[in-house]
Amino acid sequence: MFLKKELAQYIASHPKSEEMWKRSTDVLAGGVSHNIRNLNLPLIGAFPPFIKEGHGSTVKDIDNITYDDYWGAHYAMITGYSNPTIQEKIEHQLENTWHLGTVLEYQVLMAERLISDNKSLEHIRFCTSGTESAMYATRLARAHTGRKKVAKAKFGWHGAADTLFYDVRVPLTGKETRGILDDKEAGVISININDQTVIEVLNQHKNELAAVIVEPVLGGGGGFPVEPEFLKLLREETERHDIVLIFDEIITGYRFCNSLYQNELGVYPDLTTMGKIIGGGFPIGAIGGRNDIVEQANPTIPDRVWIGGGTFSSYPLSMIAGLEILEILKASTDHYHRINTLGDSLITNLNEFFTEENLAYIATGHKSLVTLHSISQVMESPEPAEIVHYGDKKKEAFTQLALLNRKITGMHGIGALSFAHSEDQIKDLQQVIQTITPEISKEI
């Protein structure tokens, strides 16, 4: 009954989004341009709300409903939406054109800034997306080592490019989609995070492995932190075998502190991929790291490695917004501390509640990244693979729907806290989750 009522309430209150969803599915494959943006709602006969604006911690849809938002545009908007100082810089640039396709002063300033903030970055290349940066990082590693294979973490999402779209979702079957090479042909090997057997795997493939790529916290894969000890082990073992270690910091970079997360961890990779936050809300990707690896891309050297070539690479507005956000983040120690603490306690409080109430839900994540898993059975201290394996898409969709009915938007259950969120909002989020999850659990 609860679910039926929730569905009816949602549909009745979103007439404009319903109409737009119908039009959307007529012209766009599956109605979307990014697969997760349907929030799985079509699975239960619903549709996503069409969002038209965002300010601070809230967004508003075309039915004029305002929500507390925890998605933060794929975790990119750490200061919240429509940051006024970024807006001002962008408006100024708009008077002087918004694309040039030339070398830019801003990209130099941005590269200088990233390099000065981060010990492992000696040289940088900008592109337009995180996907591209992961693709180019593996190419640079292959060229540098003369080896062909790349190891990635199971459930690690580095974008859907042909290079690394393997063993991302359950059931893990290797390649994630028709239309790409089998994992053996593509030379991709999957590793388990936080598992000592990686020593054996790297040793076994040491003569073929160009790179190991890993996110310090698996983001899209389920919000699973990688143990610092495991990252140190990866560092030691890759160094031992001259394998390039790549950290994908597209989510974690500038998320927990005013620099890449590796600086807090004290583990330094050879290459780092970056994106999201550092673009200040504009499209960006970056590859940075050891000079001898990145500088292979210098177009004036013989036998250079071709990376880049995007019409919009180092897009002026991305560089301008990026510089501004990095400036803002420099003065945001208190904000970081606040949202990191709030996120950690939200995860703890929710899990205590789920355990007390014996509910098949689990919160994972790290600091301001919070993922809510709707699962099909109660589990005690499950491993990441079990959590993902028992993920229940229909339940997730109903959870999302019930959150939307209570004016909360998120993705992957919740998403990420921003500097714009108040403590009261987080309390309210927790309260709402504690209200809806027992009701949903009675029926699913």
Ligand X SMILES: Cc1ncc(COP(=O)(O)O)c(C=O)c1O
Site residues for ligand X per CB under 6 A: 74, 129-131, 134, 157-159, 215, 219-220, 248, 250-251, 275, 285
What's the helix, strand, coil split of the chain in %, to 5?
45, 15, 40
* Least Å from the CB of residue 216 to ligand X: 10
Contacts of 72 (CB under 8 A, 6+ apart): 78, 80, 415, 416, 418
Separation of alpha carbons 74 and 69, rounded Å: 11
Q: Which is nearer to ligand X, 70 or 157 (CB)?
A: 157
Please answer whether residues 35 and 176 qualify as being in contact, where contact means their C-beta atoms are separated by less than 8 angstroms.
no
Residue in the shown chain whose Cβ atom is closest to ligand X = 130
Least distance (Å) between residue 128 CB and ligand X: 8
Nearer to ligand X, 285 or 415 (CB): 285
Q: How many CB atoms lie within 10 A of CB 200?
A: 11
- 186 or 416: whose CB is closer to ligand X? 416
* Nearest alpha-carbon partner for 363 in 260, 225, 257, 216: 225
- Closer CB to ligand X, 83 or 252, in the complex: 252
Helix axes 333-356, 423-443, angle to 10 degrees: 30
Cβ-based nearer residue to ligand X, 44 or 251: 251
- Shortest distance, position 218 Cβ to ligand X, whole Å: 8
| Residue 64 Cβ vs ligand X, minimum distance, rounded to whole Å | 29
Closest to ligand X by CB, 137 or 440: 137
Our measurement of the distance from residue 409's CA atom to the centroid of its chain's CA atoms, rounded to an integer in Å, reads: 16
The answer to whether the peptide bond before residue 171 is cis (omega within 30 degrees of 0) is: yes
Scored b (16 or more CB within 10 A) or e, 257-269 reads bbbbbbbebebbb
What count of residues does the chain have?
444
Report in angstroms how near the CB of residue 285 gets to ligand X at its nearest: 6
We find the least distance from the C-beta atom of residue 290 to ligand X, in angstroms, to be 20
Q: How far is the CB of 381 from ligand X (least distance, A)?
A: 25
Q: DSSP character for 55?
A: E
- Closer residue to ligand X (CB): 31 or 159: 159
Report CA torsion sign: 101, 106, 111, 114: negative
Q: Minimum distance between the CB of residue 197 and ligand X, rounded to whole angstroms?
A: 23
Question: Nearer to ligand X by C-beta: 243 or 286?
Answer: 286
The angle formed by the CA atoms of residues 154, 156 and 160, to the nearest 5 degrees, is 120
Work out the number of other CB atoms within 10 angstroms of the CB of residue 407: 14
